[in-house]
Amino acid sequence: MTGGAPGTTAPGTTGGGTGFHGMWRDLLPIGRHERSGGYRRYAWAAADTDCRAWFRQEATARGLAYEVDRNGNQWAWLGDPSQGGAVVTGSHLDSVPDGGAFDGPLGVVSAFAALDELWARGARPAAPLAVVNFGDEEGARFGLACVGSRLTAGQLTPRQAHELRDADGVSLPQAMEAAGHDPDAIGPDPERLARIGAFVELHIEQGRALDLGGHPVGVASAIWPHGRWRFDFHGEANHAGTTRLEDRRDPMLTYATTVLAARKKARLAGALATFGKVAVEPNGVNAIPSLVRGWLDSRAADEDTLAAVVAAIEQAAHERGARDGVDVRVTRESFTPVVEFAHELRDTLAGLVSPDAPAPVLPTGAGHDAGILSAAVPTAMLFVRNPTGVSHSPAESAAEDDCTAGVTALADVLEGLACR
């Protein structure tokens, strides 16, 4: 399925809701770029606001209690949250630039659909249940991923959040306010987290492990440590047609060499390193740049390897900068330590999803709100097969049957955790 939708015949939890097919259909056009076919759903911008309106509509159509928390995350409650021990499921609705349809939305749509399926089965939860949409998971606009869950978990202070700015200089509080959310209230929310007994995030797999093993659904074991580093290469602007090569201080050369070095260092260490975003000043065809700014995303199976790879890339940048007359400054913009999901919950999930044969348990290099929350609440993830492994691209896809299998697996998990 690339843009189509699996169908489900499950009625709404309390008689409302449009089923997986209807939800997918309604969400699909929002923020889709006409030319690329990818999604541009950036935190607090118009498409994100439309996605949030969709979430509210799905919550109220089912008679769920809708609320937005102090950090702008949306919640839809079945049962009384103050009872404690809540089982929460969901994901995010924002996207990377030209992202796919599934990264995030599959988890939110499947969450509502799993509640529908529970209801259709006649299962009635003893614990409160909630669907959540965490704000600004991808960090595409303000540069930091998982802002909503980080704020909630106290891993991002309000002061740090107030300093975040988008490419146009709009601050996060300004963007929140423009979208109708009070930015003065942002901050840690320990009372909310204390009410959660388990958080389960369903997500499309962003690799091919399930496909290669022939499994529609798997369970996450761990998230690789990862981070973002901004490399500023300061050179000297000059005329492209008159400046002798030996007189240039060209930061593009240093940047280019650093990109190649990143690839090599990552390969040698069995890690990952990507420069996926670059900004050039003044950005003229016939001018040597004064500044090249490149963002490194690097990930590895363990923190020591990640630290060593990034240090080696920095060293290569400085060495080349010295030869080019270019000043190199590196700023770590974010870092997420390794996440090992709670073994007990992980094993419970694997048993619920696949009682007869063990469900595959796999690590991922992708970051998730579940990883952020895992420091505060028991957290687990389900992955749905991605036949190509492609993600963060309009080509991201999942088969209709696999999406349906994901909903069933999630409903099994919710039933197992909340209905006993």
Chain residues binding Mn ion by CB under 5 A are 103-104
Identify which of residues 104 and 183 has a Cβ nearer to Mn ion in the complex. Answer: 104
Count of residues binding ligand GLV (CB under 6 A)? Answer: 4
Residue 104 binding: pick among ligand GLV, Mn ion, none (C-beta 5-8 Å cut-off by kind): Mn ion
Residue 387 sits at φ, ψ, to 5 deg, of -65, -25
**From residue 142 to residue 161, what is the string marking binding to ligand GLV with x (rule CB under 6 A)?**
---x----------------
Cα(329)–Cα(331) distance, integer angstroms? 7
Identify which of residues 78 and 147 has a Cβ nearer to Mn ion in the complex. Answer: 147
Residue 367 binding: pick among Mn ion, ligand GLV, none (C-beta 5-8 Å cut-off by kind): ligand GLV
Cα(137)–Cα(147) distance, integer angstroms? 6
Question: 19's torsion region: left (phi>0), alpha (psi -120 to 50) or beta?
Answer: left
Identify which of residues 298 and 348 has a Cβ nearer to ligand GLV in the complex. Answer: 298
CA torsion sign, 7 to 12 to 16 to 17?
negative
Identify which of residues 104 and 371 has a Cβ nearer to Mn ion in the complex. Answer: 104
Identify which of residues 365 and 416 has a Cβ nearer to Mn ion in the complex. Answer: 365
Residue 373 binds ligand GLV (CB under 6 A): no
User: In whole angstroms, how close is the CB of 359 to Mn ion at the nearest point?
Assistant: 20
- Nearest Cα neighbor of 69 from 50, 54, 52 is 52
Cα(146)–Cα(137) distance, integer angstroms? 4
Residue 367 binds ligand GLV (CB under 6 A): yes
Identify which of residues 100 and 188 has a Cβ nearer to ligand GLV in the complex. Answer: 100
The two beta strands, 226-234 and 291-299, are: antiparallel
- Work out which of 366, 373, 380, 410 binds ligand GLV, going by CB under 6 A: 366
**Could you please report the per-residue DSSP string of 275-315?**
EEEEEEES--TTEE-SEEEEEEEEE-SSHHHHHHHHHHHHH
User: In whole angstroms, how close is the CB of 194 to Mn ion at the nearest point?
Assistant: 25
Residue 105 binds ligand GLV (CB under 6 A): no
Residue 290 sits at φ, ψ, to 5 deg, of -90, -30
Binding-site ranges for ligand GLV (CB under 6 A): 138, 145, 366-367
